[in-house]
Chain A
Amino acid sequence: MADAPRVALVTGGAAGMGKATSLKLAADGHSVGIVDIDFDGARAVSDAIVAGGGKALAVRADIGERMQVEQAITQIREALGPITILVNNAAVENFSALEDLDDATWDRLMGINLRGAYVAAQCVLPDMSAAGWGRIINVSAFGAQIGAPNMALYTASKGGIISMTRSLAIELGPKGITVNSVSPGFIDTPMARRAINGGLFPVPYEQIIATYPIPRLGQPEDIAAACAFFASDAAGYITGQVLGVNGGAAM
């Protein structure tokens, strides 16, 4: 039996994992609000969903700016209805040695990757509370679990996502809201390709993935499937969990 159709919000839904997750949730019968700073990209995803017979709305917002997030969510709620599935996927990367990091860069990234996730959750909480049902899926990263050179800032933001996931799971469980994290490994996304092409890895990436138990790059669809599982009724007794989708790179 299929789940009831619901309204999902995917941040950073214009490309990569967020795009794949938006398409998957739509395929599962949900309406999808796609928020991204790249409006054209988000619009292309919502157009694809609508062309396939689904419901979707793309809205531009900088996830690091509370006012923009609030406005985007209000717009999506008015167009599609109360939001009971939230996928906090929006994030920016940073590769900096410790000596090159500066406070403005730190604050800006944390404002998007970590604060943005809490702001979005706070904005949709009334909808989920009213429904007595909610799914929050926070996308973290395997680097937060095992560490990565020149990625202290990025992995700290994702480690914060994991800790926030656990605490919100305990806090929101009594409201019927589950909170879980999908922790991607090395996934073939525009972000990963920028890192590869920018020469940001100390060795060719083929040598890195060769050390993984499943020696390939993950696909955005691998992440989308895990997010959609956590969003489903079937996953209703799972909360506070971190599921690595990483080919065994972090266990």
Chain B
Amino acid sequence: MTGMGRLAGKVAIVTGAGQGIGEAIARAFAAAGAKVILTGRTLEKIEAVAAAIQSDGATALAIKADAGNANEAAMVIQRAVDEWGRIDVLVNNAHSFTDFLPLEDPKMEANCKVDLQSAFFGSLQMMQAAFPHMVAQGGGSIINFGSDFGIRCEPGFLAYAASKEAIRALTRTAAREWGKHNIRANTILPRAMSPKALWYLEETGTHDAELARVALGRFGVPDDIAPTAVFLASDDSAFVTGQTIGVEGGVTMF
């Protein structure tokens, strides 16, 4: 199962590609032969990733865009079409998440709106903007991100969990409505520890307990997640749609 050429000829957009999982997916897509557009809030970060991809001889383009801004979503999609004439793969990874907060906190509603705007509405906006192009070209693959925290509903993470489950509903609805256009939509539940997530586990004294729940005995890294995105982007998964797949070492068996 090599990545070589499996995405040759495809154009992919990865949001939130300046670091972590988004960066790993953008690099893996490029290594598999796709042309990749990277979006993010911080231009320097996505430009650095794009430069690294280009120095490996692949094709990448960095575009500054804020997830959850409909105008910027439309701009990114238009740019992809202008540059390369199509959008085969859309990866909605960007998510501005809020901090741990108990349900009864008066700031909860505002927090939920932050998560939903960037991650849920951000995904919806990109999908709506990409839709006519995917229909016109005869299909596409949409990869969205849920979370095992959405399934498990861990205390203190309502805003995150609710937005992630909303995204799963969005994904499955797209699978049903757009399947007839040969547009597939699937959800990955990733587990790759960001520095912030690791800090949180240490701070709350839950690191060891959390690690004990992982059947494979280690926390994931972004490169653990990327191959599943390549599979879902490729024609190897032509009959896979509406599915939720955990890439999380065996914590939440969905």
Report the Cα distance A231→B236, complex, angstroms.
14
Q: Is B238 an interface residue (CB 8 A)?
A: yes
Whether A240 touches B175, Cβ cut-off 8 Å, given contacts A213-B241, A214-B184, is no
Report the Cα distance A248→B1, complex, angstroms.
25
Name the segment of A102-110, A121-129, A147-155, A218-226 touching the other chain. A218-226
Q: Is A146 an interface residue (CB 8 A)?
A: no
Residues of A contacting B20 in the complex (Cβ-Cβ under 8 angstroms): none
Which of A212, A240, A246 neighbours the largest number of chain B CB atoms within 10 Å of its CB?
A: A240
Q: Is B166 an interface residue (CB 8 A)?
A: no
Report the Cα distance A244→B236, complex, angstroms.
13
Looking at chain B, what size class is its interface with the partner chain?
Answer: 35 or more
Name the segment of B77-85, B105-113, B127-135, B221-229 touching the other chain. B221-229
* Inter-chain contact A241/B239, CB cutoff 8 Å: no
Report the Cα distance A236→B246, complex, angstroms.
12
* Inter-chain contact B254/A242, CB cutoff 8 Å: yes
Whether A238 touches B2, Cβ cut-off 8 Å, given contacts A173-B249, A219-B239, A225-B237, is no
Report the Cα distance A215→B175, complex, angstroms.
12
Report the Cα distance A184→B227, complex, angstroms.
21
Residues of A contacting B184 in the complex (Cβ-Cβ under 8 angstroms): 214
Q: Is B33 an interface residue (CB 8 A)?
A: no
> Residue on B with the closest CB to A167?
B253
Q: How many A-B residue pairs have CB under 8 A?
A: 122
* Inter-chain contact B240/A213, CB cutoff 8 Å: no
Q: Is A232 an interface residue (CB 8 A)?
A: yes
* Inter-chain contact A239/B243, CB cutoff 8 Å: no
Whether A244 touches B243, Cβ cut-off 8 Å, given contacts A173-B217, A222-B238, is yes
A243 touches which of B172, B176, B245 (Cβ 8 Å): B245
B249 touches which of A3, A214, A239 (Cβ 8 Å): A239
Residues of B contacting A172 in the complex (Cβ-Cβ under 8 angstroms): 215
Query: From residue A176, how far is it (CB to closest CB) to chain B in Å?
Result: 8
Residues of A contacting B254 in the complex (Cβ-Cβ under 8 angstroms): 241-242
Q: Is A201 an interface residue (CB 8 A)?
A: no
* Inter-chain contact B243/A2, CB cutoff 8 Å: no
Q: Is B231 an interface residue (CB 8 A)?
A: yes
* Inter-chain contact B1/A232, CB cutoff 8 Å: yes
* Inter-chain contact B245/A213, CB cutoff 8 Å: no
> Residue on A with the closest CB to B174?
A213
Report the Cα distance A82→B225, complex, angstroms.
28
* Inter-chain contact B242/A244, CB cutoff 8 Å: yes
Query: From residue A106, how far is it (CB to closest CB) to chain B in Å?
Result: 27
* Inter-chain contact B176/A229, CB cutoff 8 Å: no
> Residue on B with the closest CB to A246?
B239
Q: Is B48 an interface residue (CB 8 A)?
A: no
Q: Is A141 an interface residue (CB 8 A)?
A: no
Residues of B contacting A178 in the complex (Cβ-Cβ under 8 angstroms): 216, 250
* Inter-chain contact A214/B239, CB cutoff 8 Å: yes
> Residue on B with the closest CB to A182?
B240
* Inter-chain contact B231/A214, CB cutoff 8 Å: no
Q: Is A251 an interface residue (CB 8 A)?
A: yes
Query: From residue A171, how far is it (CB to closest CB) to chain B in Å?
Result: 8
Whether A235 touches B228, Cβ cut-off 8 Å, given contacts A28-B1, A213-B242, A241-B245, is yes
* Inter-chain contact B179/A212, CB cutoff 8 Å: yes
Report the Cα distance A243→B175, complex, angstroms.
15
Report the Cα distance A154→B227, complex, angstroms.
33
> Residue on B with the closest CB to A186?
B239
Query: From residue B248, how far is it (CB to closest CB) to chain A in Å?
Result: 7
Report the Cα distance A58→B77, complex, angstroms.
51
Query: From residue B5, how far is it (CB to closest CB) to chain A in Å?
Result: 12
* Inter-chain contact B1/A234, CB cutoff 8 Å: yes
Q: Is A198 an interface residue (CB 8 A)?
A: no
A226 touches which of B2, B172, B176, B240 (Cβ 8 Å): B240
Which of A1, A185, A245 neighbours the largest number of chain B CB atoms within 10 Å of its CB?
A: A245
Of all A-B residue pairs in the complex, the 5 with the closest CB atoms, nearest first, are: A213-B179, A173-B215, A234-B227, A232-B1, A237-B224
- 24 A-B residue contacts at CB 8 Å? A169-B250, A170-B215, A170-B253, A173-B215, A213-B175, A213-B176, A213-B178, A213-B180, A214-B179, A214-B239, A215-B180, A234-B227, A234-B228, A234-B230, A235-B227, A237-B224, A239-B216, A239-B249, A240-B250, A241-B245, A241-B254, A248-B179, A251-B172, A251-B242
Having A237-B248, A251-B244, one finds 16 other A-B pairs with CB under 8 Å, namely A28-B1, A169-B215, A174-B215, A174-B216, A176-B216, A213-B176, A222-B240, A225-B237, A229-B227, A231-B1, A234-B1, A238-B246, A243-B243, A245-B240, A247-B179, A247-B241
Q: Which residues of A contact B (CB under 8 A)?
A: 1-3, 28, 166, 169-170, 172-174, 176, 178, 185, 212-215, 218-219, 222, 225-226, 228-229, 231-248, 251
